């Protein structure tokens, strides 16, 4: 019987989750984050069963609307939805067809006319999910918008750290790489700070935009300094095209000064976790022996991604244990 878990979640809920959309970590209170993580923990158990499926979202329709290529995030959402028995439809729209084709507003209106319950959107424009959220009755889940936010990534990161460390409060988190262009960094910085962790960011100067301190993070210009004593070292993916835009000098130098080597990792706490949102540029921002080493929780992040996304879909549909919610 699948119900006991989900009903247990309802009983233990410290607060209710009354949001139509999940647009960003910026909107969430620490209590809401806690609720999502707790909900995810109970869903995680389902993933270990032989039959990994519960009827929680039976009769619900979940659309993934991806304007940017993505394998893991979309797959993760799709698996999450399917394990909850939702009907899923995947729409991948290439940026080139958008130029010739209909506007985001028109696409959204057309989808809405088919009465989906949840639309999961990834888009290269910051604010695209917010644009849909104000326009549509469907719940909108932000699966990454421009440089702005990637809230489900931050939530799965929080879950992974909480699981390994037993807490988030008081932990030292180092986030290394292209902070300027990273929606993962923006969501993680806010998420970890909201949960009481201390965040230090580091990267090449051009990738550290002004006003970072105003977000409540420390800013370091040196990777050894940033990782010293850290409980978590989070490496960001380097987008290689940033070289042409003068954000860093050469790949070789980037790997040497801003890539995580075993020697760098030794500066962190002995039990420090190594994280990466993927996909990896092995040998650039992370040395292979670090990525594959005992401190790496990179694949746990992926597993937790499914659980967190199940929790989000569940909570946004009202958390009712039947298909008749709202």
Count of residues in contact with another protein, rule CB under 8 A: 25
Beta carbons of 129 and 140 less than 8 angstroms apart: yes
Q: Does residue 267 belong to the site contacting another protein (CB under 8 A)?
A: no
The answer to whether 12 and 39 are in contact (CB under 8 A) is no
Nearer to another protein, 148 or 172 (CB): 148
Instruction: Decide whether 20 or 252 has the Cβ nearer to another protein.
Output: 20
Name which position in 186, 194, 264, 309 contacts another protein (CB under 8 A).
186
Q: Contact region for another protein (CB under 8 A) — 76-84, 101-109, 156-164, 233-241?
A: 101-109
Nearer to another protein, 148 or 276 (CB): 148
In this chain, which of 105, 170, 206, 288 binds another protein, going by CB under 8 A? 105
Helix H, strand E, coil C: the string for 282-321 is ECCCECHHHHCCCCECHHHHHHHHHHHHHHHHHHHCCCCC
How much is the CA Rg of the chain, to the nearest whole Å? 20
* CA pair distance 118, 141, nearest whole angstrom: 7
Specify the pairing of strand 198-202 against strand 61-66: unpaired
Half-sphere exposure of 286 (CA within 13 A, CB side): 26
What's the min distance (Å) between Cβ of 165 and another protein? 27
Side-chain-side CA neighbours of residue 176 (13 Å): 30
Stretch of 119-127, 152-160, 295-303, 304-312 lying at the interface with another protein (CB under 8 A): 119-127
Of 104 and 265, which CB lies nearer to another protein in the complex structure?
A: 104
Interaction pattern, residues 200-219, with another protein; x per rule: CB under 8 A: ---------xxxx-xx----
Dihedral sign for Cα atoms in the order 208, 123, 61, 277: negative
Give the C-alpha separation, 135 to 154, whole Å.
Answer: 25
Residue 237, interface with another protein (CB under 8 A)?
Answer: no
Cβ 146 to another protein, closest distance in Å?
5
128 binds another protein (CB under 8 A): yes
Residues in contact with another protein by CB under 8 A are 26, 103-105, 123-128, 130-131, 145-149, 183, 186, 209-212, 214-215
């Amino acid at each position: 019987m699948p119900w006991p878990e989900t009903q247990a979640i309802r009983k233990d809920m410290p607060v209710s989750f009354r949001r139509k959309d999940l647009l960003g970590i910026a909107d969430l209170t620490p209590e809401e984050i806690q609720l999502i993580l707790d909900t995810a923990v109970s869903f995680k158990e389902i993933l270990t069963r032989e039959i990994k499926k519960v009827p929680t979202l039976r009769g619900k329709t979940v659309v993934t609307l991806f304007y940017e290529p993505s394998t893991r995030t979309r797959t993760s959402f799709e698996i999450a939805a399917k394990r909850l028995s939702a009907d899923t439809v995947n729409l991948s729209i290439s940026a080139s067809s958008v130029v010739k084709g209909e506007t985001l507003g028109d696409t959204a209106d057309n989808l809405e006319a088919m009465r989906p319950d949840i639309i999961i959107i990834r888009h290269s424009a910051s604010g695209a999910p917010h644009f849909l959220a104000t326009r549509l009755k469907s719940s909108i889940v932000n699966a990454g918008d421009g440089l702005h936010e990637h809230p489900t990534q931050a939530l799965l990161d929080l879950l992974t750290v909480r699981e390994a460390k037993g807490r988030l409060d008081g932990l030292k988190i180092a986030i290394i790489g292209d902070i300027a262009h990273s929606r993962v960094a923006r969501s993680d910085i806010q998420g970890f700070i909201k949960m009481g962790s201390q965040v230090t960011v580091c990267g090449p100067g051009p990738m550290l935009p002004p006003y970072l301190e105003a977000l409540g993070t420390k800013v370091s210009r040196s990777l050894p300094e940033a990782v010293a004593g850290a409980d978590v070292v989070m490496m960001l993916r380097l987008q290689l095209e940033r070289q042409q835009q003068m954000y860093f000098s050469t790949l070789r130098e980037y790997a040497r000064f801003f890539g995580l080597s075993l020697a760098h990792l030794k500066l962190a706490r002995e039990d420090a976790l190594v994280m990466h949102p993927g996909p990896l540029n092995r040998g650039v921002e992370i040395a292979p022996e670090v990525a594959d080493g005992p401190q790496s929780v990179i694949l746990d992040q992926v597993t937790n991604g499914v659980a967190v996304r199940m929790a989000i879909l569940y909570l946004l549909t009202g958390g009712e244990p039947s298909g008749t919610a709202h």
